[in-house]
Each structure stands twice: as C-alpha cells, then as structure tokens.
Amino acid sequence: MSDMTENTALTRRRFLAGSAAGALIIGFNLPAPGRFGAALAAGGGDTPLVNGWLIIAPDNSITVRVASSEMGQGVYTSMPMLIAEELEVGMDQIAAEMSPVGPQFTNLAFNMQATGGSTSIRWSFEPLRRVGAQAREVLRAAAARTWNVPLAQTRAERGQIHHTGSGRIATYGELAPLAATLTPPAEVSLKPRSEWKLLGTPAKRLDSAMKATGTAGFGIDVQLDGMLVATVAACPTFGGKLKSVDEGPAMAVKGVRKVLRLPDAVVVVADGYWPARKGLAALQPQWEPGDNASNSTARISERLQAGLNGGDGARAMAKGDAAALAGAAKTVSATYEAPLLAHATMEPMNATAHVRSDGVDVWLPTQSPGLIPGIVAKLTGVAPEQVTVHTTFLGGGFGRRFEMDFMIQAVLASQAAGAPVKLIWSREEDTRHDFYRPPSAARLEGGVDGAGKPLALKARICCPSIFERVFPQFINNGVDSTAVEGIADTAYDFDNLHVDYVMQDVGVPVGFWRAVGNSQNAFFMDGFVDELAHAAGRDPMDFRRDLFTGDRRNAALLEKLARESGWGKAPAGRAQGVSIHHSFGSLVGQVMEISLQGDAVTVHKVTCVVDCGTFINPDTIRAQVESSIVYGLTAAWFGEIEIEGGAARQGNYDTYRMLRLAQMPAVDTHIMVNDEAPGGMGEPALPPAAPALANAIFAASGKRYRSLPLSRHGLRPA
C-alpha cells in the first residue's frame, strides 16, 4: 500500500534504531528470544546477574525488572525504589524494564502474575526490599573476598562497596561477575525505617521523559518486520454469534489481505489500520443475536429491582442484631442504583501476536501476563514454555486489561494470516465490547437512637457477579465479595450490620472496573450515612465521628479532614459534602466544596486525606488521588452505558463523555504519616468522589440524588 521514498525509509530506520537505543523498548522491533532467557539463568554469560529481578552488568548499569504492569499508577518507579533502597543505589543510577513472565514475578496477593486490586506495593513491599538486600550482601561478599578482608569491614553506598579500613572502593559493576557466582544469604536484615533514604520521599518517575517525548512503547506502537494490521467487529448483541459474511467487499479494498470469521466476530487483516477499517466498514456481517436481543437498560433495572424485592439473598455480613432497628428513634429507608460503566482506557484494546510453529510471541498492554502462556498454548498447540509475553506500557488499564479477549483475537488473526499481526480495536468496539462495571441496586435501611447516634444498618444489594465468570471458586456461600465490598466490610462501626446479596445476571458481560464494587457501594453507603445524619438532625461530619470510635487511625483521618477542608466554614454561597471510604487497605476521606448556579455545579475544591499506611512515593500518591477523583467524578457526572436491543448504545467520547481539563477541580491532598503496613493507592481515592459530590449537592439544594449519573438528573459540571 505504501511506497516510501528512500528518504522516508531512512527516517523510519533511524527512528527504529533510535528507539532501540533506549533500553526500555528494545524488543519492539523484533522478537528477541533468549534475551530474557539468558538473563534469567543464574550467573554465567556476559551479563552477570544477581537474580532475576535485577541485572548488574560489568559496565555498571543496573536494570530493575518491574513485575507489575505500568498503567499510570507509578509502579515503574515505586517498585524499583524498594530494591534501590536496600541495594544502596540512587534512583539516578538505575534503569527499569518490564519483566518477562516468570515464577519469581508472581503477585503474591493473587498467586498469579497480574496487576490489579491496588496490590503491587502491598505484596512486593517486603520481597523487593529483600531482593535489594540480597544483592547488596553478595556484592559486599564479593568485595570482601577480592580484598581478602572481613565482611564486616565493607559497606555499600551509591553503587559502590567501600572498605572501611583501607578506603578501597569497587563499583557494583566490577564486583558483579564474582558476585554472580556466590550464593546470596537466605536471611538478610532489612534497614529500619529510620535509615531509609528513598522510601517515603518524592521520587521522579522513571517513565516521564519517555512519555513526554512520545518514545514510551505502548502496545499499539509495536512494529515488526512483515507485520500486518487487523481490526475487528464483534456481534453487537452480547452473547450473539456471526451467522455469515460475504468477504468480497472487504477484499476489494486496496491493502486488505484477509477476512477472518470468528464464532462471534469478523476480523479484517490488512497492510495498515486504515485499509483494515475501510475493509471492515465495507462488510455486512449477518449476526445471530442470541438470547439478549431484547435486553434494555429498563429491563436491567427491572431485574435489579426484582432482586431487591423478592427471593432469597445470600448473607454477606451479619454483625449484631438486625432487629435493633425496631428500637430506633428514627429510621430511614432508601433505594440506590448505579449504571453499567465502560473503562474507556485512552489506548484502545490491542495486541500483537506472531504465531510460528516453534513458538508464539505476543506483545501487548496487559494487566495479567501470567495468564497468557497457558491460553496461547491451548489456542495454538505450542507448549506454554514456547510462549513469550512482552508486556508494553499500558495506555490505561483500570481492570479492563485484565481480560484476554483482544489477545486471543490477535493470536487467531496471526495464526490465520501466517504473519505477525497487530490487532487494534476502534474506539466504538472498545466501548461496546467491554466487560462493564456491574450495574447495581441497593436498598438500605438504618436507624439512629434517641441521642441521634447511629444504631443499625441493613443493606440488600442486587447486581451481577464478576467472579461467576472469572473466578467462580471465590464465590462463598452465594456471595461475590466484589458485589458487597465497601458495605459488608465498611470502615464505619455499626454495632448492628446486616448485608444480603442477590446475584442477578443482566445479559451484559461484567468485569473489574477501577475500585470494583467500592466504586458504586461507596456512593450507596456514604449517601445513606448522610441521609441518616440528616434524619438525626446532625452535622454529617460529626455524625461520622460516632462511626469511627473504634479505630484510632480512622478517627485521626476524620479530624484531619475536618481541619484541612475547613469543614463547616465554607464561604457564603458554597456547600460542602463529605465521604470517607476504606478500600484496598487504605482509608480516604474527601470533602467537596461546591456552588450551584441553576443546574450547573462548580466544584471549587476537593480536600482529600489519605491513610495508606507506609508509603513509597508521595508524589505518586498525589497523582493517584487526582487520577482517582477524575475517574470517579467522570462517572458521577456522565458515566452510563445504556443497553438497547441487547447492545451498548454509547460508542465514543461524544456520547460516553469524559471530564475535561476545564472541569477539573483543585485538589488538596494530605497524606497521614504512620508506620502501618502499606495500603493500596491505585483505587482507594475513587470511591469517595461521587458520594462527596452528591452529598455536597444535597447540602446546597436539599435534593438527594440516589442514582448516577448526575447528568440524568439535569445537572452538569460548570
């Protein structure tokens, strides 16, 4: 299709060579079998290794492998910080790279190599420091042996071992070949917190420069010799199949190579994305819509309401006495509802596969590389050991890139085309074939005693189950914990708390969305707690004080939030709303300060206080707070996937709207300092955003909104 002039070809070669010179995207051009293979072997070769996480080369370069997928949350910097702290090197002395698939990279929170649930720091906090400490100790041992001095006379500092007696110095690179032959001590002592140099201090991101110059390699940027590009259309109706398609019109488009029929989709393979897309547009596939053809948003809502109103629920929490409500001085009952949501990562779903008889390489932005070898082996008949996964940077993940659907399509396309194929979804395909945040409905009943103190809470939650599809073994006595999280395990101390779950299929695939069940359950919970406070005639912040009497950290966070937000002291014409929610090991409180101008709402300021225990990179935490607030506010304002004729109605950003820069509020973040175990930070600041906003709108207008998005109620961000 293209006929490049020599000039262009030259530029292209230069570009690719230039890319390869940056260590991070080596391997984008060509499959590089053996690169990691050699690196994973213990010792030997020209590249002495201390262990599979870390490469210290004779030229003194230090490369840290990052097992978690970098999707914006900063693990590409924070995980190397853990190793660097104990290795005694500065962040300016190391480079990071994505890890291959390997047993040592298993996320110990899931027992598989995957990124999600805000677990990266939580699981790696101790193991990665141990990796750094072991490397430091073998380097010291190598120096002691080289100099024939006692180990105790050596110390590590900024990439060098010093001999305290003679002042001799050797670099890690010089010592690496000998160190690679030594066995690291099984037991190493980790530095006490008081001696930390890096952890807990702001570190520059290791990926900023790449991302500011356009050289960071995302999945969609993969280029291989002889590579074709494909795009796909799946049956619009969920669960439907491809009946037939006449491939003629696509094959007539210049640059189209192949039309591939999958059971539920049609794929067009071409010389580039544009001819593939034109070819796909020319086709008129005939679909067998299946059982969901008459499904609609109204029908889904009816199913959820039916689940609230009848049938047995599964008991998710039973604490205290449910009958306590009968003795309440005041009771409140309310029904809340939250819609289906798409992830809308900025980088549309894509994957590149090269299927050969001797093995398969896949390059993709994925949150779960560890799942891939087994799946590809089944698809292609090669052994799992012959499958090489190259995890790229992720242009957003948010749980969507846990899924394997797009990867499978790329492998099948490469297999059919007999060539490397990069398969790219259109934005419309991405929005209409997501694994959506489950729609959910909840009925809450609560009561306060004569003094206006919270007494009891009952919740009945109806929504489809995520685990039923992905991890059915995690469903416990009919309860999918992701459906009730944030309510059944609320941080609020209700003496009497009863939560039931009703599992209800809705004919739409559901999956992990950022903060998962907490994303809607915080809206339910903290909206309802606000209702209870109002019924008791009490200040919403003060009312929550009575729900935090049992936990020192929670109480401290609330007081900090009240102080920093200037709670109760908003300027005239402004109102405040509060939400405090615990998820993924961290407690986050937010106060939104707003004003109303008719149907337009201005969020003047968000005050956010975070208790995530021991933290690694405070600058990343601030970024994640802003990130989570935008994600939460976008959903609160606009987020809704409607179902019509069994298919998703919204397709692109014109109808599935996103918050933009002009609507971004000022965010004032405060991090509690303590030495508790690390909590997650990729998600926990999201859940409070919607309820804090809705509670502020109530404070301003007296109107309580119990369903999202707020745009459905005629409101808009100013």
Which of positions 664-693 make contact with another protein (CB under 8 A)? 664, 666-667
8 A C-beta contact, residue 116 and residue 399 = yes
Q: Which two tokens stand for residue 551?
A: 């936990």
- In this complex, which beta carbon is closest to another protein, that of residue 360 or of residue 667? 667
Residue 345 binds to another protein (criterion: CB under 8 A): yes
Quote the least distance from Cβ 203 to another protein, whole Å: 9
> Which of these, 339, 504, 522, 536, lies nearest to 444 by C-alpha position?
522
Among 21, 346, 451, 673, binds another protein (CB under 8 A): 346
Residues 402-431 that bind another protein (CB under 8 A): 424, 426-427
**Bridge partners, residue 593, by sequence:** 576, 605
Residue 214 binds to another protein (criterion: CB under 8 A): yes
> Which residue is listed with tokens 């006449």?
246
Establish how many alpha carbons lie within 13 A of residue 93's alpha carbon, considering only the half-sphere containing its beta carbon: 23
- In this complex, which beta carbon is closest to another protein, that of residue 579 or of residue 707? 579
Beta carbons within 10 angstroms of residue 251's beta carbon = 15
Quote the least distance from Cβ 617 to another protein, whole Å: 10
Backbone torsions φ then ψ of 183, nearest 5 degrees:
-90, 125
Say how far residue 137 (Cα) sits from the centre of its chain.
34
**Bridge partners, residue 90, by sequence:** none
Quote the least distance from Cβ 218 to another protein, whole Å: 6
Q: Buried b / exposed e across 147-161, counting CB within 10 Å, b at 16+?
A: bebeeebbebeebbb
> Which of these, 261, 235, 263, lies nearest to 246 by C-alpha position?
261
**Cα separation, 148 vs 418, whole angstroms:** 59
Among 85, 86, 337, 347, binds another protein (CB under 8 A): 347
Please, what is the Cα angle at 616 between 611 and 622, to 5 degrees? 60
Among 61, 223, 305, 614, binds another protein (CB under 8 A): 223
- In this complex, which beta carbon is closest to another protein, that of residue 88 or of residue 626? 626
Residue 221 binds to another protein (criterion: CB under 8 A): yes
Considering only the stretches 7-15, 105-113, 146-154, 285-293, report the one whose residues sit in contact with another protein under the rule CB under 8 A. Answer: 7-15
Residue 215 binds to another protein (criterion: CB under 8 A): yes
Binding track over 579-618 against another protein, x by CB under 8 A: ----------------------------------------
8 A C-beta contact, residue 441 and residue 337 = yes
**Bridge partners, residue 6, by sequence:** none
Quote the least distance from Cβ 116 to another protein, whole Å: 15
**Cα separation, 213 vs 158, whole angstroms:** 29
- In this complex, which beta carbon is closest to another protein, that of residue 555 or of residue 718? 718
Quote the least distance from Cβ 84 to another protein, whole Å: 17
- In this complex, which beta carbon is closest to another protein, that of residue 16 or of residue 377? 16
Quote the least distance from Cβ 619 to another protein, whole Å: 6
| Interaxial angle between packed helices 618-637 and 689-701, expressed in degrees from 0 to 180 and rounded to the nearest 10 | 60
Residue 451 binds to another protein (criterion: CB under 8 A): no
Considering only the stretches 130-138, 444-452, 562-570, 660-668, report the one whose residues sit in contact with another protein under the rule CB under 8 A. Answer: 660-668
> Which of these, 464, 442, 528, 461, lies nearest to 500 by C-alpha position?
461
Please return the burial class of 594, using the count of CB atoms within 10 Å of its CB with bins 0-12, 13-18 and 19+.
buried
**Cα separation, 354 vs 689, whole angstroms:** 43
Residue 232 binds to another protein (criterion: CB under 8 A): no
- In this complex, which beta carbon is closest to another protein, that of residue 104 or of residue 215? 215
Among 87, 372, 407, 629, binds another protein (CB under 8 A): 629
Considering only the stretches 111-119, 437-445, 555-563, 629-637, report the one whose residues sit in contact with another protein under the rule CB under 8 A. Answer: 629-637
- In this complex, which beta carbon is closest to another protein, that of residue 152 or of residue 212? 212
> Which of these, 410, 402, 300, 396, lies nearest to 644 by C-alpha position?
300
Look at strands 154-157 and 350-356 and give their pairing. Answer: unpaired
Residue 527 binds to another protein (criterion: CB under 8 A): no
Among 7, 194, 284, 473, binds another protein (CB under 8 A): 7
**Bridge partners, residue 364, by sequence:** 391
Binding track over 85-124 against another protein, x by CB under 8 A: ----------------------------------------
Residues 269-328 that bind another protein (CB under 8 A): 271-275, 278
Residues 378-397 that bind another protein (CB under 8 A): 393-397
Residues 259-278 that bind another protein (CB under 8 A): 271-275, 278
Quote the least distance from Cβ 39 to another protein, whole Å: 25
Say how far residue 382 (Cα) sits from the centre of its chain.
30
Quote the least distance from Cβ 434 to another protein, whole Å: 14
Query: End-to-end distance of the chain based on CA atoms, in angstroms?
Result: 47
- In this complex, which beta carbon is closest to another protein, that of residue 572 or of residue 661? 661
- In this complex, which beta carbon is closest to another protein, that of residue 88 or of residue 207? 207
Residue 461 binds to another protein (criterion: CB under 8 A): no
**Cα separation, 448 vs 542, whole angstroms:** 14
- In this complex, which beta carbon is closest to another protein, that of residue 575 or of residue 630? 630
Establish how many alpha carbons lie within 13 A of residue 240's alpha carbon, considering only the half-sphere containing its beta carbon: 24
8 A C-beta contact, residue 524 and residue 570 = no
Binding track over 16-55 against another protein, x by CB under 8 A: x---------------------------------------
- In this complex, which beta carbon is closest to another protein, that of residue 73 or of residue 134? 73
Q: Which helix (H) or strand (E) holds 359?
A: strand 359-364
Backbone torsions φ then ψ of 275, nearest 5 degrees:
-60, -35
Residue 225 binds to another protein (criterion: CB under 8 A): no
**Cα separation, 493 vs 335, whole angstroms:** 22
Size of residue set near another protein by CB under 8 A:
74
**Cα separation, 487 vs 679, whole angstroms:** 19
Quote the least distance from Cβ 487 to another protein, whole Å: 26
- In this complex, which beta carbon is closest to another protein, that of residue 135 or of residue 686? 686
Q: Which two tokens stand for residue 600?
A: 């337009």
Q: Which two tokens stand for residue 221?
A: 């940027």
Considering only the stretches 150-158, 209-217, 232-240, 243-251, report the one whose residues sit in contact with another protein under the rule CB under 8 A. Answer: 209-217
